[in-house]
Amino acid sequence: MEIVSSVKDFQFLLSEGRNSGKEIGFVPTMGALHEGHTSLIDTSVKQKKSTAVSIFINPLQFSAEEDLDNYPSSLEKDEEICINHKVDILFCPTQKEIYPNGPPEPEEIGEIGTILEGKSRPSHFPGVATVVARLFEIVGKSCAYFGEKDFQQVKVVNDLVKRRQFPVEIVACPTIRQVDGLALSSRNAYLTQDQLTDASVLYRALTVGAESILNGEKNSENLKKLISDVVKSESKGDLDYVGIVDSETFTPLNLLNDLGEQVRILIACKFGNARLIDNIGVVVPET
């Protein structure tokens, strides 16, 4: 595995891969790698891509009161993980390499980025879109792998690719979970053992909501209350939101009327100092 920090060296290695006839698979991360990340890497490797991983903690997607200074970092461990999962290139740039002229103007985002997570964290998606746009400019033609745990982020990035016409195909990969259903996240490292147990309520609550849809419930407000009640009655979590949207358009839904409609239930909740998000997909059944 090659490890580089400069854009010039990274692009040279990407060119070498392309010249040898390989397509590029790209996994952008902020480090603190876990099985969710390695599932993305493994998908790229299995698809016989020349696989590149970036590790860059992007300050633009953190607001002043968020956890930038304490965001988990484990570069030596991350390097070992990448080697074990057959990564070809590990790109670990400095702030100067990514933003050579200082922080740029935030990238525009569409309406998808203004609701739910975008409403709770207004600077988050502009920051994500800005760094992703910069990374895509550097990497060029590629397949980029993102986890569905950050489902709204996947939609924001897809919208960015279409708007900026990047030669990048976005590949969304399934959420990786613990045995108790808790979605893997770098922020899980902030949780005590009791909080980890508590946080497993998120998947239970999402599953209750999905089962209710499958049993015929079509009113979103009823579904949100049902899911919220599970979180509040079974944990000490501080619930931020429950959202129900069309999986394709990300349009918020009031009534689930269309048979076969693909629905996504999203949730955000704080446990101790960690704010966690999760989601689940469900198809509206014929009644």
What pLDDT tens digit does each residue of the chain (287 aa) get?
A: 999 999 999 999 999 999 999 999 999 999 999 999 999 999 999 999 999 999 999 999 988 777 787 788 889 999 999 999 999 999 999 999 999 999 899 999 999 999 999 999 999 999 999 999 999 999 999 999 999 999 999 999 999 999 999 999 999 999 999 999 999 999 999 999 999 999 999 999 999 999 999 999 999 999 999 999 999 999 999 999 999 999 999 999 998 987 778 999 999 999 999 999 999 999 999 76
Same domain for 268 and 204? yes
Domain that holds residue 95: 2-173
Catalytic residue among 34, 37, 85, 124: 37
Q: Tell me, yes or no, whether 83 lies in a domain.
A: yes
Same domain for 49 and 131? yes
- Which residue, 125, 141, 173, sits at the end of a domain? 173
Same domain for 249 and 209? yes
- Which residue, 151, 173, 195, sits at the end of a domain? 173
Q: Tell me, yes or no, whether 180 lies in a domain.
A: no
Domain CATH code at residue 262: 3.30.1300.10
Same domain for 190 and 169? no
Count of structural domains within the chain: 2
**255 — phi, psi (to 5°)?**
-125, 140
Cα separation of 81 and 39, whole Å? 12
Same domain for 135 and 10? yes
Contact at 8 Å (CB) between 203 and 281? no
Same domain for 140 and 14? yes
The model's pTM is: 0.95
Q: Is 37 a catalytic residue?
A: yes
Same domain for 155 and 220? no
Q: Is residue 115 packed enough to be buried (19+ CB in 10 Å), middle (13-18) or exposed (0-12)? A: middle
Cα separation of 144 and 51, whole Å? 10
Give the type of residue at 103.
P
Of 158, 168, 170, 171, the closest CA to residue 249 belongs to 158
In the prediction, which pLDDT does 67 show? 74
Domain CATH code at residue 112: 3.40.50.620
